[in-house]
Amino acid sequence: MKKNQIILIISLLMFSWVHAQSQTTHVRPSVGVNGVKPQTKLTPDETSANMTVENQKWSPEKDRPYIVRATGKEVTGLTWKEYSFSFTPDKDGYVWLSLEGQYPPKEDPKIVFKVDYDNVVVTGGSIENGDFETLDENGKAKFWTYAGEVIPQGSAPALLGTHFVTATANNRVGVALKGVAGQKVTVTFNARMHVD
Ligand SMILES: [Ca+2]
């Protein structure tokens, strides 16, 4: 093989490696709140400093008033970053809080954004086990429901204690959130990019 052919191959390998790395240097947390089942209307508070908070645009129109979508305005990399958003339910009772990863861009649908979450704190309402430290006999965080497989924690440490959860667009991690009619609920959490 000629020297310039080798250089070309090495350049191509380097380029594809850099390209692959550049797709996953940061993530955007995406959190859903769903009150469709109990027909609890959720009014988004649009004043969050670091999240876009709105009634979920892509839901069927009849469901939209019952669903809030909060998406990180700011991305996060390998270090934990705090996010916060608020909404107000119009009824007492439970709605569903769902931690997710951002959806892949249309031009590159194979990218899976894995987002670690820890220290979910709710004021004006309540959830159980927001620090994920209480585990069931299968090693899952108690009270939380996983839509897919539990993603192994990887090598990076938890923010608080020893456990956190990892979510993606399809591997959602959800919990029941108890609210009060007319009382603003604020959800604060930490997120970062997952490392396998
Ligand atoms: Ca924890």
**Per-residue pLDDT reduced to its tens digit, 45-93:** 999 999 999 999 999 999 999 999 999 999 999 999 999 999 999 999 9
Confidence of residue 139 (pLDDT cuts 50, 70, 90): confident
Residue whose C-alpha is closest to residue 110's, from 3, 20, 192: 20
How far apart are the C-alpha atoms of 54 and 32, rounded to whole Å?
10
How far apart are the C-alpha atoms of 71 and 50, rounded to whole Å?
9
Q: What single letter denotes the amino acid at residue 27?
A: V
Mean pLDDT of 93-98: 98
**Residue 174 vs residue 20, higher pLDDT:** 174
> 2-32 burial, b if ≥16 CB within 10 A, otherwise e?
eeeeeeeeeeeeeeeeeeeeeeeebbbbbbb
Contacts (Cβ under 8 Å, ≥6 apart) of 33: 42, 67, 68, 70, 87, 95, 96, 97, 98, 177, 187
Q: In angstroms, what is the span from residue 141 Cα to ligand 1's centroid?
A: 10
Give φ, ψ of 106 to 5 degrees.
-55, -35
Retrieve residue 170's tokens. Answer: 């399809």
pTM greater than 0.85: yes
Provide the pLDDT for residue 22.
Answer: 44
Q: In angstroms, what is the span from residue 159 Cα to ligand 1's centroid?
A: 6
Provide the pLDDT for residue 4.
Answer: 73
Q: In angstroms, what is the span from residue 143 Cα to ligand 1's centroid?
A: 14
Average per-residue pLDDT for the chain: 92
Q: In angstroms, what is the span from residue 104 Cα to ligand 1's centroid?
A: 27
- Lowest-pLDDT choice from 11-20, 37-46, 62-71: 11-20
Q: In angstroms, what is the span from residue 130 Cα to ligand 1's centroid?
A: 8
Tell me the pLDDT tens digit for each residue of 159-171.
999 999 999 999 9
Provide the pLDDT for residue 79.
Answer: 96
